[in-house]
Structure 1
Amino acid sequence: MTDEQLHHILYSFRFQKSEITFLRHNENRTYKVSDADGSSYVLRIHQPFKESMTGLQHTYEGLMGELLMLESLAKESSLLVQSPLRNRDGELITVIEHEGQRLNCSVLTWLEGRDLQKEDVQKPELVRLLGSQVAKLHEFYRQYRNFALRIDPSKGLRIM
Structure 2
Amino acid sequence: MDYTKCFKEVILKYSFIDPFVEFIRHNENITYKVTEKRSGDTYLMRMHKPITKNMQGVQNMREAIQSELEFLLAWSSHSELPVQIPFANLNGELVTSVVIECEEVYCSVLKWVFGETMSKKDFTSEGMVSTLGKHIAYLHQFSRSFKHSSSFIRPEYGVEWINTMLTQLRSGEEMGIITIREFQILENAFSLVTDRMKGLSKTFETWGFIHADIHNSNLIRVSRGISFIDFGLSGFGYYAMDVAMGALFTKKELRDDLLSGYTNIIPGRIDIAQLEDFMFLAICGYYAFLVSRKEKHEWIREHIPGLIEHLCDPFLEGKTVFYNI
- Using the size of structure 1 for normalisation, the TM-score is 0.84
Q: What is the distance in 1 between the residues matched to 2:27 and 2:137?
A: 30
Task: Check whether the contact 1:73–1:79 (CA below 8 A) recurs between aligned residues.
Answer: no
Task: Check whether the contact 1:79–1:136 (CA below 8 A) recurs between aligned residues.
Answer: no
Q: What is the distance in 1 between the residues matched to 2:116 and 2:102?
A: 35
Q: Which residue of 2 aligns with 1:19?
A: 20
Normalized per residue, the structure richer in helix is: 2
1:142 alignment partner, one of 141, 144, 165: 144
More deviation in 119-128 or 20-29? 119-128
Q: What is the distance in 2 between the residues matched to 1:42 and 1:35?
A: 12
Q: Which residue of 2 aligns with 1:39?
A: 41
Deviation at residue 5 of structure 1 after TM alignment? 4.1
SS of 1:141's equivalent in the other structure is: helix
More deviation in 57-66 or 130-139? 130-139
Task: Check whether the contact 2:9–2:98 (CA below 8 A) recurs between aligned residues.
Answer: no
- Using the size of structure 2 for normalisation, the TM-score is 0.43
Which structure: larger Rg? 2
Aligned residues between the structures: 149
Q: Which amino acid aligns with 1:130?
A: L
Deviation at residue 77 of structure 1 after TM alignment? 2.3
**1:87-125 deviation line (CA, Å, top 9, x unaligned):** 111111000001221011000011134554333332122
Q: Which residue of 1 aligns with 2:81?
A: 79
Q: Which residue of 1 aligns with 2:91?
A: 89
Aligned-residue CA RMSD in angstroms?
Answer: 1.8
Q: What is the distance in 1 between the residues matched to 2:52 and 2:77?
A: 34
5+ unaligned residues in a row in structure 2: which ranges? 153-325
**Between the two proteins, what is the percent identity of the paired residues?**
34
Residue 64 (structure 1) aligned with residue 66 (structure 2): yes
Q: What is the distance in 2 between the residues matched to 1:17 and 1:149?
A: 37
Q: What is the distance in 2 between the residues matched to 1:149 and 1:54?
A: 24
Q: What is the distance in 2 between the residues matched to 1:13 and 1:71?
A: 18
More deviation in 114-123 or 103-112? 114-123
Task: Check whether the contact 1:14–1:87 (CA below 8 A) recurs between aligned residues.
Answer: yes
Task: Check whether the contact 2:6–2:100 (CA below 8 A) recurs between aligned residues.
Answer: no
